[in-house]
Structure 1
Amino acid sequence: MATPLATLGVISIGEMGLGIAKLLKANGYRVVTNITTHARAESASLDLVSSDEELASTSDYILSIVPPRNAIATAERIMKVSTSASFAKRETPLYFLDLNAVAPKSVRGIAELLKPAGNNIRFLDGAIIGSPPSLKDDHTDLNTVEAWKRPSIPMSGPHVLADAERSGAHLANVLNSQHISEQIGSASGLKMSFAAVTKGFTALAIQSFTTASRLGVLPELQQHLQTYMPKTYEMANASVPVMPPKAYRWVREMEEIGATLAEDGGFEENEAIFGGIARTYDLVAHGTDLGKEKTGERNRGKTVEDVATLMSEGIDRRKQKMD
C-alpha cells in the first residue's frame, strides 16, 4: 500500500493560493486551510480547520501566499501556535514556505522571527513567478503535472524542499520548484528583480497611455508602438488590462521592490523609482473606478484605452478636490 502524500496548509486562498491548492489536490495531496477562507475553500473541495493551531498541527507543510503587507503577521501567527500542546506532539518538523512577494530583508526578518522554534519549524524562502496554475486546454486528465500550466517557484535557504522526508521530492516536482541557493533571500530577490521589470513596465505603460490620452494622441502612440516596437505594444496590451484587480496588492510589492533595490542592489534614495510606481498603483486602486474591479467579475478597464480613460477621470477628480 502506497504511503499517503503529505498534508499541506495553504494561507490564504486568494487567486494564487486557490490555483496552487487545486494543483496540489489534483496531484493527490490533502490541502487544508483556515475556515476564514470558507467560500473559496469550498469551491476547491479543501478541508477546513478552525484555527491556526489546528492548521499548524495538521500540516506537514504550510504555504504562506498572502498579500505582501500580511507576510510577517502570517509568520507570527504560526510562531505563536508553535508553543501549543498539540504542536508539541508532532513527530516531524513543520516546513514553512514563505512564497510572498517581499524583499529579501523582509524574508530574513521572518526567518529570524521563526528561529526560537528551532528545528520544529524549517523555513524556506520561496517566490512565485508567473500566473496561478491552470489546466491546459488540451488535457482532460487533471491528475498529472503535465496537464497544468504552472508558475515557477524558486526556493532558497539551508533546507531543500526536495530533500524533505514527507513527499519532498514529489512536492517539489508538482510545484515546479527549483532550489537556487543556500542563502535566505535569494529566491525573494529573484522575484523582486523579475517583478521590477514586469510590473514596473506595466506602471510605465499606464502613465504613458494615460498621458497620451489626455493629450489626445493615444491612437498615434499606439500606431508608433505597433510600427517601431511591436513587442512592447503587445506586452502593454497584455499586461495593462489584467492589472486593475491586482493593483491594491501591488502597492506594497512595489515598496518591497524599492527596498530590495536599495538594500541589496545598492541604489541610493535619489536613484529610487519604485516609490513613484507604488503610488501609481495606489492611484489605480484607491483613486479610480479601476479599484472596484475583481478577478472573474470584470466590467471596466479591459482595454488599455479604457484604463487610460478611467485613470484620467480619477486624476481629474483628484485635481478638483485639491482646488
Structure 2
Amino acid sequence: MGASVGRKLVDAGNVVLTSLEGRSEATRKRAQEAGMVDASWIEIVETADILLSIIPPKDADSFAEKLLLRSNKEPLVFADCNAVNVVPTKKIAALFSNTPIAFLDGCIIGGPPSGTSVPTFYGSADPEQEKGLELFKDVIGKSGIKVGILSGEGAWIGDASALEMSYAVSSIGRDGCVLAQ
C-alpha cells in the first residue's frame, strides 16, 4: 500500500521521502520504482510538512516513538494511517500530546491505488488539530486520492480507526457469506 500511495503522490508532483534504513531489498525496490527518495530521518522531519505512516500495524507505535526522538518541528503533521484499532491509536496520539506536532488518526478504505482504482483516506483528530486535517485533505486530495474528513462536534482521535475496523469486520463478514453460498 505504501509504495502505491507514494507513487500517486509523486505523480501529483510531490517529493516523497522515505527512510529505507534496515528495510528489505524488496521494499527498497518498490520505493525506487514508485519514485520515492531515500532519506535520513533527520532529512525527513526537517523537510516534510506531513508524514504519512503506512506500515505494518505491529510497527506503528515504535515508528511514532522514533519520529518523536528526531523532531519537535512546527508545523508538522503526523498522520497514522495504519490498520490499528482505537486503543493503540489513542496510545500513539498521547505520545504527541505535549509536542507541536499535529497528530491525525487516519485510515485507508480500499485497495492500493492502481489505474483508475483509488482508496479513500479518512482522517480524524482532536478539535484543536483542524489545520492539520486541512493540510492532510489538501495534500492527499490533490494527488487524486479520495479524502474524507471526520470532523465537527463529537469527532476525536480514534474515529478513523473505528471506521476502518468497522469496514474490515463488515467486509470479512460479507466475504464469508459469499464463500458460504
> How high is the TM-score relative to the length of structure 1?
0.48
**2:57–2:84 contact (8 Å) kept in structure 1:** yes
Q: For 1:115-134, what aligned pairs fall within 5 Å after superposition? A: 115-117=97-99, 119=100, 121-134=101-114
Asked if 1:32 corresponds to 2:17, the answer is: yes
Q: Alignment partner of 1:116: what SS?
A: coil
Deviation at 1:176, TM superposition (A): 1.2
Identity of aligned residues (%): 34
**1:104–1:189 contact (8 Å) kept in structure 2:** yes
Structure 2 gaps of 5+ residues are 22-26
Alignment match of 1:177 (pick from 147, 157, 166): 147
Asked if 1:56 corresponds to 2:45, the answer is: yes
Q: For 1:12-161, what aligned pairs fall within 5 Å after superposition? A: 16-36=1-21, 37-49=27-39, 51-82=40-71, 87=73, 92-117=74-99, 119=100, 121-136=101-116, 149-158=117-126, 159-160=129-130, 161=132
Match of 2:24 in 1: none
**1:18–1:44 contact (8 Å) kept in structure 2:** yes
Q: Name the CA distance, whole Å, in 2 between partners of 1:109 and 1:100.
A: 13
> How high is the TM-score relative to the length of structure 2?
0.83
Deviation at 1:44, TM superposition (A): 1.5
Aligned residues: 169
Between 1 and 2, higher relative CO (CA 8 Å, sep ≥ 6) is seen in 2
Structure having the higher Rg: 1
Q: Alignment partner of 2:108: what SS?
A: coil
Q: Alignment partner of 1:115: what SS?
A: coil
Q: Name the CA distance, whole Å, in 1 between partners of 2:140 and 2:54.
A: 16
Q: Name the CA distance, whole Å, in 1 between partners of 2:19 and 2:173.
A: 33
Structure 1 gaps of 5+ residues are 1-15, 137-148, 206-228, 238-323
